[in-house]
Structure 1
Amino acid sequence: MDDRRAVRAILDGAERAPDASALFGGASARLRRLVGFHAAAWSATDPGTGLVTAPMHVENLGRGEGCFAYWETALLEESVVPFRELARAAVPAAGLRAATGDLPARSVQFRKLLARQGVGDELRAVLRIGGRPWGVVSLFREAGRPPFGPAEVALLARLSAPLAGRLRALAVPPPGTAEGAGRDEPGPGLVLFDPSGVPISINDEARHHLARVPAGPSVPSPLGPPLPIWLAGTAAQARAVASGRDRGAARVRVRTRDGRWLVCHATRTEGPGGAPGPTAVVVQPAAGSDLAPLIADAYGLSVRELEITELIARGLSTGDIAADLVISPHTVRDHVKTIFGKTGASSRGELVARLFADRHWPRRAAAGPAGRAR
């Protein structure tokens, strides 16, 4: 089972993967040789909210509404080893039959979907690093076969951090993607869903933005082309939050095919007498306040390192940064050295040119002569 050479092949393949889609496909194919499964579902997640985003990789699970139903129940209804708990658990992987004492029907998802599809057991994991979830995976085994065992759970848990680390590295914007960002971009896109979750309206701006995201599992729409599962899932999260069934933000960041970022956020409105109204989903180019934390996470920067990098991008000197943050210049220099090590930059100019075009950052108040905000 624990074939070190095969595990090494999974990690080496992940390091060579040019994007998250290739990482998921390659890791799934190699993992199948170690852990027997007949179906799988992989998805990137927003490290801030844990909600699924693009890309997704699905094998033998069905597509369209069935695939969306899986993610909806997995993220919003499941009470047995839900992904949100695995993201915080000591071990970020678990088997369904083992977690339920061989009573999988305790799982909402199993009762609603998996049993009907001939699934006997599910092994799921959160791909996490630095306390952040960068992806989720579920492996499925047919009914009648042995359940996933402790060694298989341990193997998937062992892969969690290195695969998450590669997903985090792939979130780093490629050189040059900031150039021209925002030029000729349409305004916010809007998609409306009725209270039951059926899309009822979409504007041209939303169509433009959605045409730029990677292809993946989608749900049928009476408005025209199918809508990405992550968009329908964000709307479902907003409805769950409004009804008190869940907590947290209904918000995800999505990378486009050209390496830029969109942000998608949803809210459920109220109708007459407080009745549930339509759910509005806005899709638009990510602002600096959306990107700065993600870029910092991608490079493994701490909160303090993020602050210092922002000030470097604004052109402040070591002394000005020290005054602004009320720390010593020596401490600033130590942080800058660490930032260079994490980002691979060798100078402040290279750091700014490589990472932090002004549009990546939320605007700070104007700085005075000593560099302190006024």
Structure 2
Amino acid sequence: MTDPHRPVLSNTERAADALELFTRTSARLRRRVPFHSAVWTAADPETGLITAPMLVENLGTGENCATYWESELLEENVLPFRDLARAPVPAAGLRVATGDLPARSARFRRLLLGQGVHDELRAVLRIGDRPWGMVSLFRTTHAFHPDEVAVLADLSRPMAERLRRLARPPEAAATEAPAPGLILFDTSGEAVSISDVARHHLAVLPAGPSFPSSLGVNLPIWVIGTALQARAIADGRADAGARIRIRTTEGRWLVCHASALTGAGGHPGPVAVVIEPATPADIAVLVAEAYDLTPRELQVTQLIARGLNTAEIAETLFISPHTVRDHVKTIFTKTRVSTRGSLVARLFTDHYWPALPKPSEVHRPGLPTAQVRSQVRHI
């Protein structure tokens, strides 16, 4: 049976990263679903917020990009991505959804109309309800046809699966992990203060849409989007966390999270954005998603990384040793390894976890020194 996605997804398996995947797919999709401009972006599967990389094609200035995401998060819109992530069909056209009255959407009134856009077709690239990416296609003439919407909807899961696989980063040399960095945004959304450590973190973020600030640094759209989400949560417009994970050009994972502060008299205050090295807890779910591990398989993997043997894992999880061995066998198959040591190296030491602390730094009151050494040795 012929794969209906093959004409669009042909050769995408050889894409080296998500940006190349977007570029190849967009070029092929344009032949079946013509469009004038587009935005393709990865998403954090836990919060649904935009993260690196992002491909913007023929959509004007960087300022327009920031306005687009500001409207998405802070204004009443038709077909917000958060709704498409849960909808029965993960794609829809703006004109069809509004009964050919696209001005019902603030996004269309504020930005798209002035850009000469006639219709927008957008989709969430998802596996179940886990969004791995988002795409918007724009036309300057006629509306998108239902058959074209169906083409993009059918690409949702296959594209998400490719993005999930590409979340497995290459090995990276260990470098000293800096401390958390801080950026403050005032109530108008302007960046007004930044720490030196935050400047360091920004310098190693991947290339993408960014915007100049009065602080002398360009702020990536992913950082701005996280700050906007914090404001949306404070305004009662969103409930998902203002938190994303980004892999740096050095191969490390950073977490960017934001909170809206309260000023005097309960009035809205600034938004604080913290950028810091990811902890094992921050990326455990990403590890599981990237290798298609079930929640139980992830638990077993984490206990292996802590140095527990089969009997100890069985006792901890209240399952039989035989069941543990079955889980380990499946985990080995999914991660393409054959030993526990190589499993830990593949998922944690080489790829995902930050540089390991010195034994003296992981010692906690009440934790025997021998156990500390065991954890350090087996992580």
TM-score by length of 2: 0.90
Please report how far the alpha carbon of residue 366 of structure 1 lies from its aligned counterpart in structure 2 after TM superposition. 6.2
Q: How many residues were matched structurally?
A: 361
Closer, same or farther: CA 57–315 of 1 in aligned 2, 3 Å:
same
Paired amino acid for 2:158: P
Give per-residue Cα distances to partners, 1:296-336, cap 9 Å, x unaligned.
11111111111000111122221111111001112112211
- AA aligned to 1:335 is H
1:158 corresponding residue in structure 2: 154
The residue aligned with 2:312 is: 320
Q: What is aligned with 1:201?
A: 193
- Superposed, 1:290-369 pairs within 5 Å as 290-357=282-349, 360=353
TM-fit CA distance, 1:111: 1.1
SS at match of 1:289: helix
Asked whether 1:95 is paired with 2:88, we answer no
Cα distance change, pair 167–295 in 1 and its aligned pair in 2 (3 A): same
Q: C-alpha displacement at 1:6, in angstroms?
A: 8.7
Pair 1:252-2:252 in alignment: no
1:33 match: secondary structure: helix
Contact map agreement 1:100 1:106 (CA 8 A) in 2: yes
With 311-320 and 51-60 compared, the bigger mean Cα shift is at 311-320
Cα separation, 2, equivalents of 1:335 and 1:5: 32
Give 3-state SS (helix, strand or coil) of 1:187's partner. coil
Partner residue of 1:280?
A: 272
Other-structure match for 1:52: 50
Equivalent pair of 2:41/2:134 in contact (CA under 8 Å)? yes
Q: Counterpart in 2 of 1:239?
A: 231
Deviation at 1:9, TM superposition (A): 4.2
Q: State the partner residue of 2:359.
A: none
**Distance apart, 1:13 and its partner CA:** 2.8
Compute the TM-score of the two structures, normalised by the length of structure 1. Answer: 0.91
Query: Alignment RMSD, CA only?
Result: 2.3
Q: Using the alignment, how far apart are the partners of 1:335 and 1:44 within structure 2?
A: 30
CA contact under 8 A between 1:44 and 1:53: conserved in structure 2?
yes
* Deviation by residue 1:169-225 (Cα, 9 ceiling, x = unmatched): 111132x32x52xx4332111111111100111111111111111111112211113
Q: Deviation per CA, 1:5-42, whole angstroms, max 9, x where unpaired?
A: 89414323321111111111111111111111000001
Q: Deviations over 1:57-90 (max 9, x none)?
A: 0011123221111122124424311111111111
2:142 is aligned with 1:146: yes
Unpaired runs of 5+ in structure 2? Answer: 357-361, 375-379
Find the aligned partners of 2:41 and 2:345 in 1 and give their Cα distance. 31
Residue type at the aligned position of 1:159: L
- What residue is the counterpart of 2:29 in the other structure? 31
1: CA distance, partners of 2:248 / 2:178: 15
Higher deviation after alignment, 73-82 or 341-350: 73-82
CA contact (8 A) 1:48 1:132 kept: yes
What is the one-letter code of the residue matched to 1:139? L
State the partner residue of 1:12: 10
* 2:256 aligned with 1:264: yes
AA at the equivalent of 1:86: L
Which whole-Å CA distance do the structure 2 matches of 1:33 and 1:6 have between them?
14
Structure 1: tracts of 5 or more residues without a match: none
Asked if the contact 1:95/1:122 (under 8 Å) is kept, the reply is: yes
- Pair 342,77 (structure 1): closer, same or farther in 2 beyond 3 Å: farther
| 2:73–2:228 Cα contact (<8 Å) kept | no
C-alpha contact (below 8 Å) 2:7/2:28 kept by paired residues: yes
User: What is the rounded CA distance, in whole Å, between the counterparts of 1:261 and 1:292 in structure 2?
Assistant: 12
* Matched letter for residue 318 of structure 1: T
Report the secondary structure of 1:116's partner residue. coil
Cα shift readout 1:263-309 (whole Å, capped 9, x = no counterpart) = 00111112111121111101111111101111111111111111000
Task: Read off the aligned partner of 1:62 and give its amino acid letter.
Answer: G
| Equivalent position amino acid for 1:360 in 2 | W
Counterpart for residue 117 of structure 2: 119
Matches of 2:287 and 2:353, distance apart in 1: 9
Structure 1 counterpart SS, 2:32 = coil
Change (3 A) 1:76 1:295: farther
